[in-house]
Structure 1
């Protein structure tokens, strides 16, 4: 561990039990690691968990890719979808979301990283919310709700596991960013503080906002005419390359956590790639796509077709690099989760999760056979 470096965000600083980075010598007190919470164990390597929910029955399981072991961690009746913000998984029913602390997380300080592991536990329920469009950072997590967005305080969740009374903000799309909340509604994007109070608004319009992401290069909100990239106190529109039909626009962005390359389904005509460094849109693939994800800069974009075939494309040129049949037909709940080395696809029909080496022509690295059908999946630990 290296002490010093970049300043923490206010929210991260509030969650750690730390007085500062101490000096050397026998008189220096032992310091608590950055990002530590009581009961956690710091580890030398990232801790990942694939949270899997049965297609029927509502039992939720955690799969550890390092060992291949699974364990039941709870039951949620009427489960419809799952989402995550790095540490926590959100399990949606028609009446709200159940919050699961998956017990694995990463604290990234820029010049050094800490990895933690703790016990998995169900924390409680947030009514009248869903998981479509959930986003979070070290300070806040935004959940879509009826008539607006509900905002959870990560300080409370991280430190004590308590679901503090969520703030509700009117708007269609919300993105936590740098301790603030960007809220899109009525064609504009406003900046709110952690209490929900609006403090400013960007002049750049964002008609019909749908889709959002948080990256190391800024926050992104999808608009009818492109995407709005917010960096610091500035907003920049990245326009589509020409007119785009409503059924082909990007409405849900997928990417490796933090990566500035985003992927989104383009209806039945392949996928969009949004490169934030180049501030440019590209199209890849051509046919109907059930799931997409982007690995990162100079790395492939992955598309899963309805026939169960995964295709790897160059994000800049659109050229197909590899193709492999992964599933015997892909169901509507199939997703692609990616991390720094592997991609994972849930196979409800085959009762399995497939691990793909996307840097080796989509080689099937491992298959985790399961005694249940994983109808839903989200990766945590980042």
Structure 2
């Protein structure tokens, strides 16, 4: 999961801003499915030279729109149910409503081919609805045209794995729907398999399933399971005693356990965030600091908290930047040892005080911070002394918004 955004967490008004990488289209001809195999291409999508970044938003009434950050055009996509929260993987928006999850395709995405990238644009659209009850946990991968997408409905205990390739064609297809014990849980896609949490508290575990919903025989203990994210190395599942790292090896799911350091006393991370796909992820260690999990090295590092924090994300660039949002509304830029090397003024103090947690998103060059109560969106150059590169004032009611196209 990239970002779970609650109502009032992000505003979209009459804003439009330039991006650091401009998009040049290679052609509007439909992509050849066979030629695009394993590269993220689908029929009727144009391949681009650069990512076509945008802001896709859902207003409080359920109206969905997409702002193209290159040409400043706005497309009205349609209307969904009144949203309560939203999760995104950078292409699809999964809107929580009273009766389940509504799925929107922003129409822009990036395919990570490790040593290079492919960028695409297609028509945005409303895909459809998945029925379920409760505040749903959504788990995605880094691929928007292959594999699976996991939904867990806590009120009923239903674990659902969606076919992501079908989503890319505008269809909803459930690979499986399994009944488990009601309560918090996760369905974490791993290649053509999935890991499903079972049990709660100290007795929780994760169980392997095939795409057809058959148990694989894999069972791994994961006390107090909470939080998941996918990196280039594999899928991370947070546990009270560390994390599980799952990947497909020789056609089977392999799970490696990454325990917290033996002398660790800080609380476990219960959510993770990073610059999309990067190996290192960040999660708050209660009020004591920031846990950094390097999935490539399979190691944890605890950075001390320089101030009370509400959010953190790992940029995982050459300078090992980590970004953190403080309770008084400042964005801190930390180095790999936890030292503050730059910071902004308080930008979102009123939002935090009102309980409207802003969203902090990092990409390769900039960070974006929403200011719901202040009705602003800040673009921050974190590598240049946390300089506020642009600030945009919004004029509409609060909306759920995601940066899409990455």
TM-score by length of 1: 0.83
Which consecutive segments of 4 or more residues in structure 1 shift more than 6 A?
none
> By how many angstroms is 1:211 displaced?
0.7
Question: Which among 316, 338, 344 is matched to residue 324 of structure 1?
Answer: 344
TM-score by length of 2: 0.78
- Superposed CA deviations along residues 54-93 of structure 1, whole A, max 9, x for unmatched, are 4x44443433333455554344443111111232111112
Asked if the contact 1:98–1:126 (Cα under 8 Å) also holds between the matched residues in 2, the reply is yes
Question: Which among 213, 233, 236 is matched to residue 256 of structure 2?
Answer: 236
Q: Of the two structures, which has the highest relative contact order with CA contacts closer than 8 Å and spacing of 6 or more?
A: 2
RMSD: 2.6
Asked if the contact 1:334–1:375 (Cα under 8 Å) also holds between the matched residues in 2, the reply is no
How do 1:1-382 and structure 2 match up within 5 A? 17-20=32-35, 34-54=39-59, 56-67=60-71, 70-128=74-132, 130-136=135-141, 137=143, 138-146=146-154, 147-159=157-169, 161-165=170-174, 167-169=176-178, 170=180, 172-186=185-199, 187-202=204-219, 204-231=220-247, 232=249, 233-241=253-261, 242-244=263-265, 248-278=267-297, 279-298=299-318, 299-314=320-335, 316-325=336-345, 326-331=347-352, 332-382=356-406
Q: Look up the SS of the partner of 1:330 in the other structure.
A: helix
Report the Cα distance in structure 2 between the residues aligned to 1:60 and 1:267, rounded to whole angstroms. 35
Match of 1:11 in 2: none
Asked if the contact 1:342–1:358 (Cα under 8 Å) also holds between the matched residues in 2, the reply is yes
Match of 1:4 in 2: none
Report the Cα distance in structure 1 between the residues aligned to 2:397 and 2:311, rounded to whole angstroms. 18
Q: Which runs of 5+ in 1 are unaligned?
A: 1-15, 21-30
How many aligned residue pairs are there?
351
Q: Look up the SS of the partner of 2:350 in the other structure.
A: coil
Q: Which runs of 5+ in 2 are unaligned?
A: 1-30
- Superposed CA deviations along residues 266-316 of structure 1, whole A, max 9, x for unmatched, are 3333432212233123234244323221112443111112321111112x3
> By how many angstroms is 1:216 displaced?
0.8
